[in-house]
């Protein structure tokens, strides 16, 4: 061993002990005839003192930043203590030292507030990983990993590895494929998730399965997506939805306790997907604050019906509202005093391409009881008050109203609500609010093919009450314009998402476990019998031999870690992430391969 | 929850409780007006009693094997107890039941001694996994996983995930590659191991890393190889070889304790590679028994010299020995009484193609002090005694001698030793003997290219004393016939294998951490500077910025589990293994992919 102690370990109780440390040179400070060096390792920083004699040696062997150093010396109490670091009361009076390895000058500083840009830090990721800020993230990731494993172990779950070289069954996302040399012309696929395998394990009787496992999706990368990502993947047999919700809110609470020392004692709230869409405009609401939506007019169905027909706003001669499919409002608390400049800025904000609205209507609920609006000429004050009341506004609030096509407007008002919540300090980083969103639609309508697609995945069961609707109706959509009237559009799934502070951290469902229902599902998604058998014959086959009722969940491990770490970016929590083009710039991968490899795999390029 | 208890849980203390169970029908036994059903789940089997009334219901809803059943009933003490199972003192008097799912008649019996053949069980792996024999293996695997993680955690190791989509750097084994759609014409590779990443993590200061991780090698599959396999992958910084040996024999001892309840108190033995080859004929000796080799004549170097020149056997007119490159002997204890039939059978055994010898010479060390041999006409009894003495034979032993080309003969005598050990009951399944084999050659000679290849991998450091030999000599082999005289052939690696009962379960090394030495290594392996930079530029670059001394080890997790489970086959310890052609016969993978996939990936087939 090159050391007797780590650089984070020594305290005044060890004064006068002879010790050996090894680590990296963080800083070198020369004061006349003596030199102070901060030596860093994974565990901390210890101050080294090179006295007069060694100082001469240092002169001919100068230390640079990031040199790897081994030192022997005596622990002594510092005269000038540093209360900011755990080793700040001592220093090491160096007796001898060895430079284990030199370092070129690093391309950026190894500090919390580094001077390195994103690209440089990615290229030299091995240096970026030395920074405390990144190290803390990976430590948190490991702590979450450990906590999850312990909880699942104590609850009888077994870690069972599922294969990585599987069969390509593109359905939803695109597969990464792997040419097989031994079976020329054929390909493996990398798993998008171990979904079908964990279901097979349930059929096999392993009634509590988990895995922390890499998954792969070949998608065009939006910001903060990775082609390979990690899931905490779980499945249980002989359970109903309630059992799964209880088990896995327990998991997340345990992680809070172990990793953040937060005692999450509250009941985890639950909300139907319809309520989430109706009240918050999206399916993963941040419920750290209110500011719910008022639906002044809507094309969106709730309980299978349109419940806001616009009677409050229609017919006043304001074409924007009259002609809109949807009009939605929120009441920003205490913002009635916003200046013209501020409301203009908000208007610009919603007109940005990312939001894409034509404009913003506001109503100020003034302290003196009057109402002032950007649409005063269409709506009398009484009407403005009625609208403001409908939006739940109180005196001093600012009502913000958006109008337009349903989907875009709902997304825009949801984004505006989050933005206002942020500006008003209502999205506190140290507050964590969990939420189950439930009763998702089982199907989504795919316009391009005029057919149904699975909102979650093809293995999700309908709610028990809705199984008959699915079985007794033909999935065919005869009139594309009226797809909303097709019975399938109202089938709800036995599915649930776990949402943390406005982020989906996990999702799952109770699965189909009867072959006929699974076949019906494949048919509903437009698969022929032959296709279904070719792709999922093994699963249909398994359901013939005593499949138990089962369900599960998968957590996005990268995302969960980033939220717990208070970061927007999952990349900060992955040791070796890829960039937005799916490249590892450090490795320079992907890259060309040899002729010999093409030859052995019996494939060739076919570049357009 | 579909149950209040599991099928392995109920005892007499629960008599008279009303409980609900769910599981699979193992057996149905009808006795007149009552029916006994064994209900099975992951935890055990509970006997169900269906009384007269329910029996009538059963008549119209007959239960079949592997039906999924939910039952409510009262626990009662059995009159006829079964002491073989933990629940054998009770049974459940069923009050009501529901068939949760039916089952077709399974293609083989779900029992320890199943009637299903290998192919059938692989196709229906989800049923095979129900068998207790397979379940025990996966449970053991999870126990090993858990034990390893706990030990490594307690010793300060961090689980850090490394990427799966990396760069193809074929060196040694063949990579599986993954075409990149977003970077058309380029490919990722799947990692053969996280070797370079764990070294980068050491450069980054994460001084104790581990991962239980899938690795991939596209090799022609020998029996019991899998294209994807799992490693316990570990690395440490600021350590010397001794630290690693101590840390990881600790790991294996902990696994013995946790998984097998074996207190492995002995010091783990160590042996140089040369001694292993000299005394046991291979580099992973089974040291549960002796029967070491006698080297009567050898071309194999020990300590850089040939130490057995054949003076004991040469010149007696026996051409087989005279002309052989190598003559090796073992003494099988107590086998002097072997009949002619038995020695003939052994001769046939060594002549099988798998062994490939021309014949077998034996010397019987008879109880009466005489020596009897198959080569009596060439060697006088005195000579036979001298040879037997050299082989370490005692009265009553049978000396077995093989002669031929060095490599093949050494392998053959090693196989013969193992075979005799087995026949003589010296390889006891419940005895575990660990061994470190050390000081491997750094290089192997590759005849086809007349160059050196890395025996372990290109990142392994030479022994400290041998670094100078490597640096100060040109790797070029000028005279292929005399490669053994090249200084490189005597360079030993700072590498070590952990061997358990004759199986390599782990291997590792102290790594090179200086750029110039690493460059020299790449050059020694025949890489141009350009190639080295293209393939491993990131690692060479990292070595510029303060790389610490480091080393590590990787355990073959599948193999370790199979040995601990007393099985020859790693496949039995993998939930969803592939067959010898790399196929998953359950999934029917690999398989053809769609035109659209080819199109998007911009590749096409080029079948020969």
Reduce the secondary structure of A3-55 to three states and give it as a string. CCCCCCCCCHHHCCCEEEEEEEEEEEEEECCEEEEEEEECCEEEEEEECHHHH
DSSP states of B384-441: HHHHHHHTT--TT-EEEEEEESHHHHHHHHHHHHHHHHHHTT-S-TT---EEEEE--B
Q: How far apart are CA B162 and CA B87, in angstroms?
A: 45
Residue A385: inside a domain, yes or no? yes
Q: How far apart are CA A571 and CA A558, in angstroms?
A: 8
Residue A171: inside a domain, yes or no? no
Q: Is pLDDT of A325 > 90?
A: yes
Shortest CA gap A152–chain B (Å): 12
Claim to verify: residue B390 and residue B473 sit in the same structural domain: no
Best residue in A204, A241, A527 to probe B by mutation, most B CBs within 10 Å?
Answer: A204
Shortest CA gap B497–chain A (Å): 20
Q: Do B24 and A605 touch (CB under 8 A)?
A: no
Per-residue pLDDT, A310: 93
**Average pLDDT score over residue span A566-572:** 91
Q: How far apart are CA A348 and CA A435, in angstroms?
A: 32
Considering CB atoms only, which of A127, A163, A240 is closest to B545? A127
Per-residue pLDDT, B429: 87
pLDDT, one tens digit per residue, over A177-220 is 999 999 999 999 999 999 999 999 999 999 999 999 999 999 98
Best residue in A545, A581, A582 to probe B by mutation, most B CBs within 10 Å?
Answer: A545
Per-residue pLDDT, B204: 98
Shortest CA gap A436–chain B (Å): 19
**Average pLDDT score over residue span A229-238:** 98
Best residue in B44, B590, B608 to probe A by mutation, most A CBs within 10 Å?
Answer: B590
Residue B126: inside a domain, yes or no? no
Q: How far apart are CA B122 and CA B185, in angstroms?
A: 36
Best residue in A149, A161, A527 to probe B by mutation, most B CBs within 10 Å?
Answer: A161
**Average pLDDT score over residue span B213-228:** 89
CATH classification of the domain holding A64: 2.40.50.140
CATH classification of the domain holding A390: 3.30.1360.30
Interface list for A 168-197 with B (CB within 8 A): 168, 170, 174-190, 197
Examine the fold and report which residue of A101, A129, A149 is the final residue of a domain before the chain moves on.
A101
Give the CA distances from residue A493 to residues A237, A414, A468, A517, B321, in Å, rounded to whole numbers and listed in that order. Answer: 18, 24, 13, 13, 79
- Give A-chain residues touching B139 at CB under 8 angstroms: 158
pTM: 0.96
Residues 6 or more apart whose Cβ sits within 8 Å of residue B10: B19, B46, B75, B87, B90, B92
Residue B49: inside a domain, yes or no? yes
Claim to verify: residue B362 and residue B452 sit in the same structural domain: no
pLDDT, one tens digit per residue, over B64-105 is 999 999 999 999 999 999 999 999 999 999 999 999 999 999
The H or E element that residue A126 is part of is helix A125-128
Considering CB atoms only, which of B1, B600, B607 is closest to A240? B1
**Average pLDDT score over residue span A590-597:** 94
Confidence class for position A354, pLDDT limits 50, 70, 90: very high
Whether B540 contacts B519, CB under 8 Å: yes
Residue B51: inside a domain, yes or no? yes
Q: Do B188 and A101 touch (CB under 8 A)?
A: no
Residue B594: inside a domain, yes or no? no
**Average pLDDT score over residue span B223-252:** 95
Report the residue of chain A nearest B535, measured CA to CA. A587
Confidence class for position A221, pLDDT limits 50, 70, 90: confident
Q: Closest Cα partner for B460 from B389, B411, B508, B523?
A: B508
Q: What ipTM does this complex have?
A: 0.95
Chain A interface includes B100 (CB < 8 A):
yes
Chain A interface includes B66 (CB < 8 A):
yes
Domain count, chain B: 3
Per-residue pLDDT, B427: 95
Report the residue of chain B nearest A240, measured CA to CA. B1
Examine the fold and report which residue of A75, A101, A127 is the final residue of a domain before the chain moves on.
A101
Residue B336: inside a domain, yes or no? yes
Per-residue pLDDT, B504: 96
Claim to verify: residue A486 and residue A409 sit in the same structural domain: no
pLDDT, one tens digit per residue, over B273-296 is 999 999 999 999 999 999 999 999
Q: Do B102 and A3 touch (CB under 8 A)?
A: no
B112 SS3 class: coil
Between A557-564 and A132-154, two packed helices, what is the crossing angle to 10 degrees?
Answer: 120
Q: Is pLDDT of A232 > 90?
A: yes
Q: Do B606 and A586 touch (CB under 8 A)?
A: no
Claim to verify: residue A411 and residue A447 sit in the same structural domain: no
Chain A interface includes B548 (CB < 8 A):
yes
**Average pLDDT score over residue span A287-314:** 92
Q: Which of A37-46, A301-310, B21-30, B396-405 has the lowest mean pLDDT?
A: A301-310
Per-residue pLDDT, A303: 85
Q: Do B205 and A240 touch (CB under 8 A)?
A: no
SS in 3 state form for B479-534? CHHHHHHCHHHHCEECEEEEEECCEEEEEEEEECCCHHHHHHHHHHCCCCHHHHHH
**Average pLDDT score over residue span A422-432:** 94
**Average pLDDT score over residue span A593-599:** 94
Q: How far apart are CA A134 and CA A137, in angstroms?
A: 5
Instruction: Give the percent of chain B with pLDDT over 90.
Output: 90
Per-residue pLDDT, A482: 85
Instruction: Give the percent of chain B with pLDDT over 70.
Output: 100
- Give A-chain residues touching B603 at CB under 8 angstroms: 603-606
Distance of CA B54 to the CA centre of its chain: 52
Q: Is pLDDT of A170 > 80?
A: no
pLDDT, one tens digit per residue, over B146-194 is 999 999 999 999 999 999 999 998 767 899 999 999 999 999 999 999 9
Per-residue pLDDT, B483: 87
Q: How far apart are CA A216 and CA A227, in angstroms?
A: 6
Range(s) of the domain holding residue B458: 441-492+514-547
Claim to verify: residue A364 and residue A453 sit in the same structural domain: no
**Average pLDDT score over residue span A475-497:** 91
Examine the fold and report which residue of A74, A101, A128 is the final residue of a domain before the chain moves on.
A101
Residue B267: inside a domain, yes or no? no
Claim to verify: residue A475 and residue A355 sit in the same structural domain: no
Per-residue pLDDT, B122: 94
Shortest CA gap B261–chain A (Å): 20
Per-residue pLDDT, A49: 97
Per-residue pLDDT, A350: 97
Q: Do A163 and B228 touch (CB under 8 A)?
A: yes
- Give A-chain residues touching B1 at CB under 8 angstroms: 238-240, 243
Give the CA distances from residue B87 to residues B8, B12, B83, B110, B519, in Å, rounded to whole numbers and listed in that order. Answer: 6, 8, 8, 20, 65
Q: Is pLDDT of A370 > 90?
A: yes
Claim to verify: residue A533 and residue A411 sit in the same structural domain: no
Claim to verify: residue B360 and residue B411 sit in the same structural domain: yes
Q: Is pLDDT of A274 > 90?
A: yes
Residues 6 or more apart whose Cβ sits within 8 Å of residue B493: B439, B440, B441, B442, B455, B456, B460, B461, B462, B463, B509
Mean pLDDT of chain B: 95
Q: Do B166 and A605 touch (CB under 8 A)?
A: no
Q: Do B207 and A145 touch (CB under 8 A)?
A: no
A-B contacts (CB, under 8 Å): 355
Shortest CA gap A161–chain B (Å): 7
Claim to verify: residue B418 and residue B294 sit in the same structural domain: yes
- Find the DSSP H helices in B305-339: 319-322
**Average pLDDT score over residue span B373-397:** 95
Claim to verify: residue B452 and residue B343 sit in the same structural domain: no
First-to-last alpha carbon distance for chain B, in angstroms, is 56
Report the residue of chain B nearest A551, measured CA to CA. B1
Per-residue pLDDT, B307: 86
Claim to verify: residue A34 and residue A97 sit in the same structural domain: yes
Claim to verify: residue A324 and residue A414 sit in the same structural domain: yes
Chain B interface includes A220 (CB < 8 A):
yes
Q: Do A186 and B592 touch (CB under 8 A)?
A: yes
Q: Do A602 and B594 touch (CB under 8 A)?
A: no
């Amino acid at each position: 061993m090159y050391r007797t102690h780590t650089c984070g370990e020594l305290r005044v109780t060890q004064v006068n002990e002879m010790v050996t440390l090894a680590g990296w040179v963080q800083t070198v400070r020369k004061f006349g005839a003596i030199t102070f060096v901060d030596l860093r390792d994974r565990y901390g920083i210890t101050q080294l003192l090179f006295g007069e004699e060694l100082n001469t040696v240092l002169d001919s062997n100068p230390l640079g930043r990031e040199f790897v150093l081994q030192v022997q010396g005596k622990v002594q109490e510092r005269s000038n203590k540093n209360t900011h670091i755990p080793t700040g009361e001592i220093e090491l009076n160096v007796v001898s030292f060895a430079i284990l390895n030199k370092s070129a000058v690093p391309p950026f500083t190894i500090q919390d507030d580094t001077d390195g840009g994103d690209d440089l830090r990615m290229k030299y990721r091995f240096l970026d990983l030395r920074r405390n800020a990144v190290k803390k993230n990976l430590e948190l990731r490991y702590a979450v990993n450990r906590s999850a494993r312990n909880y699942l172990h104590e609850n009888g779950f077994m870690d069972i590895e599922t294969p990585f070289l599987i069969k390509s069954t593109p359905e939803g996302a695109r597969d990464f494929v792997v040419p097989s040399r031994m079976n020329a012309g054929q390909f493996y696929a990398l798993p998008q998730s171990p979904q079908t395998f964990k279901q097979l394990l349930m059929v096999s009787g392993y009634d509590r399965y988990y895995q922390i496992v890499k998954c792969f999706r070949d998608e065009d990368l939006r910001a903060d997506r990775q082609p390979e990502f990690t899931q905490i993947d779980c499945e249980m047999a002989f359970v109903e939805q309630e059992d799964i919700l209880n088990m896995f809110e327990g998991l997340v609470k345990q992680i809070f306790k172990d990793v953040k020392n937060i005692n999450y004692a509250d009941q985890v709230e639950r909300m139907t997907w319809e309520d989430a869409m109706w009240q918050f405009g999206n399916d993963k609401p941040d419920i750290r604050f209110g500011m719910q939506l008022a639906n002044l007019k809507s094309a969106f169905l709730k309980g299978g019906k349109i419940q806001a027909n616009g009677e409050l706003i229609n017919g006043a001669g304001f074409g924007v509202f009259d002609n809109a499919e949807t009009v939605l409002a929120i009441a920003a608390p205490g913002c009635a005093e916003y200046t013209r400049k501020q409301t203009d800025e908000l208007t610009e904000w919603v007109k940005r391409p990312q939001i894409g609205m034509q404009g913003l209507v506001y109503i100020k609920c003034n302290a003196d009881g009057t109402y002032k609006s950007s649409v005063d000429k269409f709506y009398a004050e009484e009407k403005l008050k009625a609208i403001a009341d409908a939006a739940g506004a109180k005196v001093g609030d600012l009502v913000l109203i958006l109008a337009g096509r349903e989907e875009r407007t709902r997304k825009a008002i949801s984004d505006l609500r989050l933005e206002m919540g942020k500006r008003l300090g209502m999205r506190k980083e140290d507050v964590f609010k969990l939420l189950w969103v439930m009763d998702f639609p089982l199907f989504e309508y795919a316009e391009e093919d005029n057919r149904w697609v699975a909102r979650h995945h093809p293995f999700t069961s309908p709610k028990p009450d809705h199984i008959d609707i699915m079985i007794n109706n033909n999935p065919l959509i005869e009139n594309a314009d009226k797809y909303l009237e097709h019975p399938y559009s109202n089938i709800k799934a036995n599915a649930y998402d776990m949402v943390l502070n406005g982020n989906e951290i996990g999702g799952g469902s109770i699965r189909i476990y009867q072959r006929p229902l699974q076949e019906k599902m494949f048919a509903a998604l437009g698969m022929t019998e032959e296709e279904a058998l070719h792709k999922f014959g093994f699963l249909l086959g398994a359901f013939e031999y005593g499949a138990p009722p089962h369900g599960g969940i998968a957590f996005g491990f990268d995302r969960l870690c980033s939220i717990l770490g208070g970061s927007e970016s999952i990349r900060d929590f992955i040791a070796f992430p890829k960039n937005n083009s799916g490249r590892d710039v450090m490795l320079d991968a992907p890259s060309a391969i040899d002729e010999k490899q093409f030859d052995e795999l019996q494939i060739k390029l076919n570049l357009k």
